[in-house]
Amino acid sequence: MTYNEYQQYVEYATENYIKIPHGLISDYFNWEHRATLARCLIRAGKLAPAIELYKSIILLEVDNTIRDNSVYSALENKVWCMEELGQALWRYEKDAAAALLYINMAIDLAQSYPWKFEFVVRGEIWRNKWEILQASGQGDVAWAEAVKKSHNTELEVGKSNSMLFHAFSFLAEQAKKVDDLPLATSLLRKALRFFPKEYEDIKQLNAIWENRYHHPEDTYQQLYDLTQHDALVWGDAGKDVPIQ
C-alpha cells in the first residue's frame, strides 16, 4: 500500500464510518498505527486493505514486555493482528491454509507470553482455528485438537478458563450438528463449569440442567444463552504483570 493510499484510508476512518482519533492511525511508518487502521477497516468490512496492512507486520519482531503508559504490550497487539489476519483471509479468500498459518502464529506468540492480556482471549484463538478447520472439511482434526485441549489444559483453582470453555463448547456445538443432543447438552454443561462465575447464576444453571430429560432442546438453548455476554473477564489470562 502506498503512502497516499494509506492516507486515504486514514481519512475514511477519521471522517466517515469509523470515527477514530487521527493520532492513533496517521503514521504510515508506525506498525501499530497500521495495525490499528487495519482493525478499523476490518470492522468496516474493508477486508482487502486490512489484509494488506496486517501482512506488513508479519515479519516484525516485537518486544514481549509491558510498556509504560500503554494499555497492552506490543506482543499482545501482534497476537491480535495475526488472529484477525487469519480470520480475514478466511472470510475474504476462503484460503484455509493461509488463514491457519497466521492463526497458528497468533497461538505460538500467545503461548510464549506468560502475562495477562487485556483484550486477547487465548481460548478464542483456538476456537477460531477449530471453526476454520471445521468449515474447510477438516472437522476431524478440529475435534481431535479440542478433545486434547479439554484433557490437557491445567485449571487454576477458583478461576475460569477460556481454553476449557471453548474446547467443550466447540465439542458441544459439533455434537448438536449431528443430532446427538444428550452429548451436546452434557458437553455444554461441562463448558459452563469453566465460564466466569459472575456471568451466570449457578442456581439457574442447576435448574436448567434438571430439566434436560423433559425438554432437551430448551435445555440446550437455555444453557447456550447463559454464555452470551460481551466483554467477559476470564480468570486464565496469565500471571499478574510484574511491577515495572
Q: How many Å apart are CA 241 and CA 244, to the nearest integer? A: 9
Residue 244 lies in a domain: no
Residue with C-alpha cell 482487502?
48
Sequential pLDDT tens for the chain (244 residues): 999 999 999 998 888 766 788 889 999 999 999 999 999 999 889 999 999 999 999 999 998 777 666 678 899 999 999 999 999 999 999 999 999 999 999 999 999 888 888 889 999 999 999 999 999 999 999 999 999 999 988 877 778 899 999 999 999 999 999 999 999 999 999 999 999 888 877 788 888 988 888 888 999 999 999 888 877 888 765 665 444 4
Using the 3D structure, point to which of 86, 120, 154 is the last residue of a domain: 120
Residue 243 lies in a domain: no
User: Count of domains in the chain?
Assistant: 2
Q: What are phi and psi of 14, to 5 degrees?
A: -90, -25
Domain CATH for 37: 1.25.40.10
Report the pLDDT value the prediction gives residue 153, as an integer from 0 to 100.
Answer: 85
pTM for the complete prediction? 0.89
How many CB atoms within 10 Å of residue 224? 18
Report the pLDDT value the prediction gives residue 244, as an integer from 0 to 100.
Answer: 40
Residues 6+ apart with CB under 8 A from 104: 129
Residue 210 lies in a domain: yes
Grid coordinates in use for 212? 434436560
Residue 187 lies in a domain: yes
What's the burial of 114, exposed, middle or buried (CB within 10 Å: 0-12/13-18/19+)?
exposed
Residue range of the domain that includes 35: 1-120
Are 32 and 112 in a shared domain? yes
Residue 133 lies in a domain: no
